[in-house]
Structure 1
Amino acid sequence: MFFKKEKDNFPAFLLTSLVIILGVHIFALLTSLYYILPWFDIAVHGMGGFWAASFIYYLLFYTYRGSVRMPCFIAFVVIVSGTALVGVLWEFFEFAMDIINIPFLGIGLSGKAVLVDTLLDLLMDIAGGSLAGMLLLWLKKNTL
């Protein structure tokens, strides 16, 4: 994926990875995999954070034909902050699905378990986003 024509391949990477993550999520919901393997939710949030960070990276560096220039550290902070925002919005969505009580969409937890799940989800979103941010910025620096 990361070679001379990275810019041309990146949208395909984003779309393909989004379809895979959504497919895994839907499969896990339909088969109750999140309940059978509680750690699976953590892994999916890590993948989602990685995807969100990759999307933000793409928006930062490829939507305006490279006109955005910023130090690596600032880019990293923007990428991780954007990933955290996406994670928080997703947690609001999960919370709303629990309140509305739509089958298969909420997590169905109560009490302290909800807080622990939410914080762990956000931690994994940020961890996945941080990993993607570091990797993508390192690759960008070393391929220019």
Structure 2
Amino acid sequence: MATPPHLSPKLVVGVGSVALALVAAWATMATSGYPTNHALRSWPAVLVRRLRRELPRGDHLTAAWAAIAIWSVLVSGLHFGGVYYDVYTVLPWWDLLTHAMGGLGVAALLGVTFRGPTLRSPFWVVPAVLAIGAGFEVYEFVFKTFWHHWTLGFYVVDTIIDLVVNTSGAGLFAVAATLYRRRSAVDERGSVGARSD
């Protein structure tokens, strides 16, 4: 009788992903900018409150939420379309694309939900996305079957690449947020100088 895939040496991916999710969650909470005034379990409620308050405003915040929603639909369409039409096996880079876009989207969602801390120090979203990505790898290990026929080496490499690409998307968001903060600070100093003249 064959060993079930979950109890094979591939278990190292599931256990490793759990351990990485926990370490990355700890690193997130220890990183400057982490929204300490909100408990982790309250994040969904914070998101819903922000959406209720900011969507009807019709300003740049409404546009940011709309952009995140459109991005989410696009990433979901690319992923589920890729699964349905078997694009993942035909175009190996498709997986990289969807993971990078997903990491960027999750980072944007976190960053806009917790704008104040993120504008002060946006790099907290990088380990947060790593923790979420590792959690998703645990979900795939437990509930999906596509990896059952993979070798242990291929599965480990695929998981590491997925996590690196997710985190790279988050890093791109953090860099963009840093540049936005610097540009806003320069614009603000310029407008203060113009008013004092």
Asked whether the two chains share a fold, i.e. TM above 0.5, the reply is yes
Give me the whole-angstrom Cα distance separating, in 2, the residues matched to 1:59 and 1:50: 14
Give me the whole-angstrom Cα distance separating, in 1, the residues matched to 2:96 and 2:113: 26
Letter in 1 for 2:127: S
Instruction: Report the CA distance shift for 1:22/1:46 in structure 2 as closer, same or farther (over 3 A).
Output: same
- Kindly indicate whether residue 126 of structure 2 is the aligned counterpart of residue 43 of structure 1: no
Give me the whole-angstrom Cα distance separating, in 2, the residues matched to 1:9 and 1:15: 10
Give me the whole-angstrom Cα distance separating, in 2, the residues matched to 1:69 and 1:122: 22
Letter in 2 for 1:29: V
- Kindly indicate whether residue 109 of structure 2 is the aligned counterpart of residue 55 of structure 1: yes
Q: Which runs of 5+ in 2 are unaligned?
A: 1-58, 186-197
Equivalent in 125, 132, 137 of residue 166 of structure 2: 125
Letter in 1 for 2:126: V
- Kindly indicate whether residue 63 of structure 2 is the aligned counterpart of residue 9 of structure 1: yes
What RMSD over aligned residues (CA atoms) do the two structures have, in Å? Answer: 1.9
- Kindly indicate whether residue 139 of structure 2 is the aligned counterpart of residue 139 of structure 1: no
- Residue 140 of structure 1 deviates from its aligned partner by 3.2
Equivalent in 80, 83, 93 of residue 29 of structure 1: 83
Give me the whole-angstrom Cα distance separating, in 1, the residues matched to 2:118 and 2:152: 45
What is the TM-score normalised by the length of structure 1? 0.78
Give me the whole-angstrom Cα distance separating, in 1, the residues matched to 2:137 and 2:83: 16
Q: Which structure has the larger Rg over C-alpha atoms?
A: 2
- Equivalent residues of 1:80, 1:133 under 8 A apart: yes
Offset from partner CA, 1:8-60 (integer Å, 9 cap, x none): 21111111100110010000001111111112101111111110110111121
Instruction: Report the CA distance shift for 1:135/1:27 in structure 2 as closer, same or farther (over 3 A).
Output: same
Give me the whole-angstrom Cα distance separating, in 1, the residues matched to 2:176 and 2:103: 13
Identical amino acids, percent of aligned pairs: 22
Give me the whole-angstrom Cα distance separating, in 2, the residues matched to 1:141 and 1:26: 37
- Greater helix content: 2
Moved beyond 2 Å, runs of 4+: 68-72, 106-110
- Residue 69 of structure 1 deviates from its aligned partner by 7.6
